[in-house]
Amino acid sequence: MASRRYEDLGIGSKAAEARVRLLNRDGSFNVRRKGLPFFSWFSGYHYLISIPWWKFNLMILIAYIAINALFGAVYTAIGLSGLAGIDGHTLPEQYLQAVFFSTQTFTTVGFGRIAPVGTAANTAAALESLTGLLCFAFATGLVYGRFSRPIAKIIFSRSALIAPYENITGFMFRVANQRSNQLIDVSATVTLSRAETNGAGHRTRKFYPLELERPSVTFFHLSWTVVHPIDQNSPLFGVTKEQLDESEAEFLILLKGFDDVFSQTVHTRTSYKSKEVLYGHRFKGIIRTGSDGMTEIDLDKIHDYERVV
Amino acid sequence: MASRRYEDLGIGSKAAEARVRLLNRDGSFNVRRKGLPFFSWFSGYHYLISIPWWKFNLMILIAYIAINALFGAVYTAIGLSGLAGIDGHTLPEQYLQAVFFSTQTFTTVGFGRIAPVGTAANTAAALESLTGLLCFAFATGLVYGRFSRPIAKIIFSRSALIAPYENITGFMFRVANQRSNQLIDVSATVTLSRAETNGAGHRTRKFYPLELERPSVTFFHLSWTVVHPIDQNSPLFGVTKEQLDESEAEFLILLKGFDDVFSQTVHTRTSYKSKEVLYGHRFKGIIRTGSDGMTEIDLDKIHDYERVV
Amino acid sequence: MASRRYEDLGIGSKAAEARVRLLNRDGSFNVRRKGLPFFSWFSGYHYLISIPWWKFNLMILIAYIAINALFGAVYTAIGLSGLAGIDGHTLPEQYLQAVFFSTQTFTTVGFGRIAPVGTAANTAAALESLTGLLCFAFATGLVYGRFSRPIAKIIFSRSALIAPYENITGFMFRVANQRSNQLIDVSATVTLSRAETNGAGHRTRKFYPLELERPSVTFFHLSWTVVHPIDQNSPLFGVTKEQLDESEAEFLILLKGFDDVFSQTVHTRTSYKSKEVLYGHRFKGIIRTGSDGMTEIDLDKIHDYERVV
Amino acid sequence: MASRRYEDLGIGSKAAEARVRLLNRDGSFNVRRKGLPFFSWFSGYHYLISIPWWKFNLMILIAYIAINALFGAVYTAIGLSGLAGIDGHTLPEQYLQAVFFSTQTFTTVGFGRIAPVGTAANTAAALESLTGLLCFAFATGLVYGRFSRPIAKIIFSRSALIAPYENITGFMFRVANQRSNQLIDVSATVTLSRAETNGAGHRTRKFYPLELERPSVTFFHLSWTVVHPIDQNSPLFGVTKEQLDESEAEFLILLKGFDDVFSQTVHTRTSYKSKEVLYGHRFKGIIRTGSDGMTEIDLDKIHDYERVV
């Protein structure tokens, strides 16, 4: 079937001459997108659930200060008479007290030592407390969005290896789950991308899905060495290290699995450029049986390999 | 297999004589539904998570004003004695102060400068603050519902093209992801719907799924040209532009993919009427390699095509 | 394959002699479960997200009253000196004021006209406001749980029909989507369950999955007539209405689809007992083209059938 | 196909000599993981949504006390002048009142009897009320995370049985749903893991997926006896109880299904060691028809078996 031999991956073969890698090690794509209309709010949401917690909390603090500085200015503009209980003598003192009143309104703590009087200040306070509640609904949504976003933390071996495997040769890399939660029904997809020169002398980039010895595992609580056997049907058959480099080969990896904690499917991506592929090496074992008969895995050694004699 | 040649799509062939398109460009269906019992709350939820943010916030503001106007009336009806700290002399003044007290109760800010006294006012305030909390729980649920709803923003080329493709002819259209988030395992389904006259001279609408050169792509970070090769098994084989128009042909498109950010499957639909299908044209390339070796895609040009000589 | 001819459905054939239907029209199972340990909280959650809104809100109101009645008693027990601002002269008056103070604490509105003084009252208030926040977190979770639970509202025709279909005979029923949201990739599973007498004269219940003319439709915005063609491979081949009744036949239906709004898969179940199956009738059309060329569906007529002459 | 006969399950065959079971009865893995960088927050989230409710609430109470003890110290450090309304004479009395003021600020109840005065106390209060709101957003997210996490409660029979089955012999175990919610499209995967001595005298652990008579059931509202027929293709063919014990055999079970209430896929795992497998026994029936014709299942008897004569 045609789609087995030449899978497009959404990349036209005209995009072939790219000299940088298509997919970064962290799974992001090396693509520049032009003509996108504008920075939509969605990207904002995506951004806010992706940043680290310290950054998220810092942004909330900054927004909190900004909102209160603004509402403090509004109350100051309305004037001293709008806030019963205020006792500052200078304008800066009054502004500062208005800011503190604003924080009490925005968070709905409402001590009442300072309280709005008159239509203008009461209207401003009514709007501010509503704004506070909506911002808080927003923050709650974001916090839960951050919580409920399942992210697989898969460790990929730094190098992929090409080495004798059973009776033939195999292309292989090793993966393990960094987290303590379980991944189930994990499957791998490996695609070889390389530049080829066609009959007309035109150099285009082609994509070949690589058959795997085992495309999926039911459980994934230890490490998994994903193997593509280089038999006669493999596009890697007879390819030397030099040819691999010359063709700017890149191996695109997609791992899918079902996350036990979130009950959702998770994905992770990475790639190996030809310079990250080593010939004639195999992975060192990282699983052993402890003295108490229990299975042990040492994730520190997942990248370790050794020369095949 | 029968279901491959004539797929019903949930539309009986008796619904065949419709002269307007079945599926609008934005993916909504052109169907009038009668006999639906009533506007259930569910539709309300659907509505509230689908409208734009400015509309959502405006509706919340209007609801906020309405609720406080109502509770303000309740407190005014209970009387001046129910609210300690109120000092309005006229009824409108008192009502306005009661409304502001209501906002302080509803948002649970509770400054306390005005406070309920006596059973009636206290009961009203107790109910209002509970109502406020529940409305806020509602709003939080809606805000999160809006956040967590994954929506694919796929750009479809304005026209579908029929042009020479490899050694034969192909029906094709082009799609790209407008968002910066990744879609994975994207698959396309294309169904041809056209009116046909059967032996008895009765004109009915038939549906034919079209085989695609590649029904799915693993990654979708650039554009994808979806191609149906018009070979001898295709219902489009030998069909001219005039015949296509005459049969009121419509191409129904469904795209599915897995959204990277939301970890959920997303769908998008569209259709091409025969008048949106051009013969003898092909798409212009929109992917090129930048001077720094990086792949570039220009989404502004996704609709661009050129005559095939 | 054995599993095609005799599918267990999780029901052992020893459960065969049941004379009531296995599956009710609303999709619930007619099974009595014994030995279940106790009413776990989960069932509570399930219950609270399944009941109608008026019941949900009523339960919240009752819980609110109960909690405040309780905390009111605590504050009264602590004594008048614990609450500054209280002015009741009789115990009932004091209790009522303590209850109102409790509502102000629980909802965190905290007017402050009545405020806790001393360690006992302050501790009680500190615990009550925390309780209030947690209850509210609970309520928010429940409200969102109620929102985000996708429920398909599929209308099934009241009767299933057995009638001439194309060149042979078919078992058929009709379904439509009652909601305005779209269901995509809807598939149907139909299983015939009937009592049979085996060689040893023992009467057991057997289950046969029925092949469908089309097991799934891509779109489901109109009605869908699900058809099982009664050919020679069908367990219904040559079966008369009397034999169907005698064998206590029941047709178990499962419909699955992808909900457009919730981006989740939804299920719905129902069954037809032999008495709900009519021979020699077919469904009346409910789809027609309006004067403006638009397709119309009349959901009121989904149950309508007519005698086949 | 190689992957059918020898499925790796993510466990290298070098991990073979483990003498303890791979998978515990409760579905957790018997693996020691080394080299994991540190206890990431994620594990914290996982922990907080997995613990029982009493523990969750207790932890919230402890955090509440700790935060208020801390902020109480801050207000005390700022001094008596920072809190209007405080009237303690000794430092402990003042600290206690500061703690109570802190609870009123943190929960945003803000009675106002004690209220912050001056920049230092106001700033601390502004930060505390923001902290309170964020903690509460956190708690709401956790509460909903606890609610929305679908967990299957499947009861597995304590023993697996090997007994005559139809004309041959079968390996079987029995499962039932402990909850009242429905599971749909439940499928089972059974893998035999056993130690084998290869030609070179090296003892390694191999994994064999076992073919099931029925790998899935559409409905799962009663019990399901999962059966692997031991025919000539089975790795259990001709294997005696002694050989099973000697090879440290373990049957790894994975059950998947779609939860009706949560509209999500759920998983559950368990295993049977060879000592939990009984030869020559079969399960006693637990399903019967009540006097009213209704089907009854007695979950108390799910483990019951009887000798096959």
A178 touching C (Cβ < 8 Å): no
CA D47 to chain centre: 11
Q: Which residues of B touch C285 (CB under 8 A)?
A: 12, 14
Q: What CA dihedral angle connects B85, B87, B91 and B95, to 10 degrees?
A: -40
User: CB A112 to CB C112 under 8 A?
Assistant: yes
Q: Which residues of C touch A108 (CB under 8 A)?
A: 108
Residues 6+ apart with CB under 8 A from D125: A100, A103, A104, A109, A111, D105, D116
How close A108 comes to chain D (CA, Å)? 6
Residue D297, beta-bridge partner list = C33, D287
- Confidence at residue B287, expressed as pLDDT on a 0 to 100 scale: 81
- The two beta strands, A216-219 and A183-197, are antiparallel
User: CB C108 to CB A108 under 8 A?
Assistant: yes
Higher pLDDT, B38 or C30: C30
- Confidence at residue A15, expressed as pLDDT on a 0 to 100 scale: 43
**Average of per-residue pLDDT across D78-91:** 86
- Confidence at residue D85, expressed as pLDDT on a 0 to 100 scale: 87
Query: For chain A, what's the residue count?
Result: 309
Digit-coded pLDDT (tens) for A113-145: 999 999 999 999 999 999 999 999 989 888 888
Residues 6+ apart with CB under 8 A from B246: none
Question: How sure is the predictor about C31, in pLDDT bands with cuts at 50, 70 and 90?
Answer: confident
Q: Which residues of A touch C112 (CB under 8 A)?
A: 111-112
CA B137 to chain centre: 25
A183 touching B (Cβ < 8 Å): no
Three-class secondary structure assignment of chain B: CHHHHCCCCCCCHHHHHCCCCCECCCCCECEEEECCCCCCHHHHHHHHHHCCHHHHHHHHHHHHHHHHHHHHHHHHHHCHHHEECCCCCCHHHHHHHHHHHHHHHHCCCCCCCCEECHHHHHHHHHHHHHHHHHHHHHHHHHHHHHHCCCCCCEEECCCEEEEEECCEEEEEEEEEECCCCCEEEEEEEEEEEEEEECCCCCEEEEEEEECCCCCEEEECCCEEEEEEECCCCCCCCCCCHHHHHHCCCEEEEEEEEEECCCCEEEEEEEEEEHHHEEECEEECCCEEECCCCCEEEEHHHCCCEEECC
Digit-coded pLDDT (tens) for C211-257: 998 898 888 878 899 999 999 999 999 999 999 998 889 999 999 99
A308 touching D (Cβ < 8 Å): no
Q: Which residues of B touch D140 (CB under 8 A)?
A: 140
**Average of per-residue pLDDT across C155-159:** 93
User: CB B111 to CB D112 under 8 A?
Assistant: yes
Q: Which residues of D touch A144 (CB under 8 A)?
A: 140-141, 144-145
- Confidence at residue D187, expressed as pLDDT on a 0 to 100 scale: 93
User: CB C109 to CB B108 under 8 A?
Assistant: yes
Burial class (CB in 10 A: 0-12, 13-18, 19+), B37: exposed
Digit-coded pLDDT (tens) for A39-87: 444 567 778 888 888 999 999 999 999 999 999 999 999 988 889 888 8
Question: How sure is the predictor about C43, in pLDDT bands with cuts at 50, 70 and 90?
Answer: low
Does residue C181 register a pLDDT over 80? Answer: no
Residues 6+ apart with CB under 8 A from A7: A191, A207, A208, A209, B214, B217, B218
Buried b vs exposed e over C159-181: b needs ≥16 C-beta within 10 Å?
A: bbbbbebeeebbbbbbbbbbbbb
**Average of per-residue pLDDT across C292-307:** 86
**Average of per-residue pLDDT across D147-157:** 82
Chains touching chain B through at least 3 C-beta pairs below 8 angstroms are A, C, D
Burial class (CB in 10 A: 0-12, 13-18, 19+), C34: exposed
Question: How sure is the predictor about A165, in pLDDT bands with cuts at 50, 70 and 90?
Answer: confident
Q: From B7, B309, B307, B11, select the one nearest B159 (Cα to Cα).
A: B307
Give the C-alpha separation, A286 to A309, whole Å: 20
**Average of per-residue pLDDT across D25-43:** 66
Q: Report the topology of domain C41-147.
A: Helix Hairpins (1.10.287)
Q: Give the D window 102-121 contacts with B, CB below 8 Å.
A: 108-112
Digit-coded pLDDT (tens) for D200-253: 777 777 888 999 998 988 888 788 999 999 999 999 999 999 999 988 899 999
Digit-coded pLDDT (tens) for C78-110: 988 889 888 878 899 999 999 999 999 999 999
How close C192 comes to chain B (CA, Å)? 22
In this complex, which of A110, A144, A221 lies closest to D10 when CB atoms are compared? A221
Q: Side-chain half-sphere of B130: how many Cα atoms within 13 Å?
A: 21
**Average of per-residue pLDDT across D44-61:** 88
Percent of chain A clearing pLDDT 70 (strictly above): 91
Q: Mean of the per-residue pLDDT values for chain A? A: 84
Tokens of A255: 């791992």
C47 touching D (Cβ < 8 Å): no
Question: How sure is the predictor about A10, in pLDDT bands with cuts at 50, 70 and 90?
Answer: very low
Q: Which residues of D touch A108 (CB under 8 A)?
A: 108, 110
Residue D17, beta-bridge partner list = none
Does residue D16 register a pLDDT over 70? Answer: no
Q: Which helix (H) or strand (E) holds C69?
A: helix C53-78
D227 touching A (Cβ < 8 Å): no
Q: How many CB pairs under 8 A join A and C?
A: 6
Range with the poorest average pLDDT among A74-83, C3-12, C61-70, D108-117: C3-12
C301 backbone φψ class: left, alpha, beta (φ>0; ψ -120 to 50):
alpha
Burial class (CB in 10 A: 0-12, 13-18, 19+), D167: exposed
The domain ranges of chain C are 41-147, 150-307
Q: Side-chain half-sphere of A136: how many Cα atoms within 13 Å?
A: 30
Reported for D286-291, long-range contacts at CB under 8 A and 24+ positions apart, including other chains, are D286/D223, D287/C11, D287/C12, D287/C14, D287/C15, D287/D222, D287/D223, D288/C14, D288/C15, D289/C15, D289/C17, D289/C18, D289/C19, D290/C32
- Confidence at residue A38, expressed as pLDDT on a 0 to 100 scale: 52
- Confidence at residue A7, expressed as pLDDT on a 0 to 100 scale: 38
Burial class (CB in 10 A: 0-12, 13-18, 19+), B135: middle
Tokens of A154: 């898969």
Indicate the class that CATH gives domain C150-307: mainly beta
Q: Which residues of B touch C182 (CB under 8 A)?
A: 29
Q: Report the topology of domain D152-307.
A: Immunoglobulin-like (2.60.40)
Higher pLDDT, D260 or A35: D260
* Domain A151-307 belongs in CATH node 2.60.120.10: no
C297 touching B (Cβ < 8 Å): yes
Count of CB atoms within 10 A of residue C59's CB? 14
Q: Which residues of D touch A225 (CB under 8 A)?
A: 12
Question: How sure is the predictor about C167, in pLDDT bands with cuts at 50, 70 and 90?
Answer: confident
Digit-coded pLDDT (tens) for A286-308: 887 777 777 788 888 889 999 98
Question: How sure is the predictor about C144, in pLDDT bands with cuts at 50, 70 and 90?
Answer: confident
* Each residue's pLDDT expressed in tens, for chain B with a length of 309 residues: 233 333 344 444 444 444 677 788 887 777 777 766 554 445 577 788 888 889 999 999 999 999 999 999 999 999 888 898 888 788 999 999 999 999 999 999 999 999 999 999 999 999 999 999 999 998 988 888 888 777 778 889 999 999 987 788 999 999 998 877 788 889 999 999 888 887 777 777 788 899 998 898 888 878 899 999 999 999 999 999 999 998 889 999 999 998 877 778 888 999 999 999 999 998 988 887 777 777 788 888 889 999 987
- Confidence at residue C36, expressed as pLDDT on a 0 to 100 scale: 61
C132 touching D (Cβ < 8 Å): yes
User: CB A126 to CB B68 under 8 A?
Assistant: yes
Q: Mean of the per-residue pLDDT values for chain C? A: 84
Question: How sure is the predictor about C179, in pLDDT bands with cuts at 50, 70 and 90?
Answer: confident
Residue A225, beta-bridge partner list = A174
User: CB A295 to CB D31 under 8 A?
Assistant: yes
In this complex, which of D22, D37, D133 lies closest to A136 when CB atoms are compared? D133
| Cβ pair C236, C228 in contact under 8 A | yes
Tokens of B300: 């502004």
Q: Mean of the per-residue pLDDT values for chain D? A: 84
Tokens of B194: 């056209």
Burial class (CB in 10 A: 0-12, 13-18, 19+), C81: exposed
D17 touching A (Cβ < 8 Å): yes
- Confidence at residue A47, expressed as pLDDT on a 0 to 100 scale: 81
How close A111 comes to chain C (CA, Å)? 8
- Confidence at residue D14, expressed as pLDDT on a 0 to 100 scale: 44
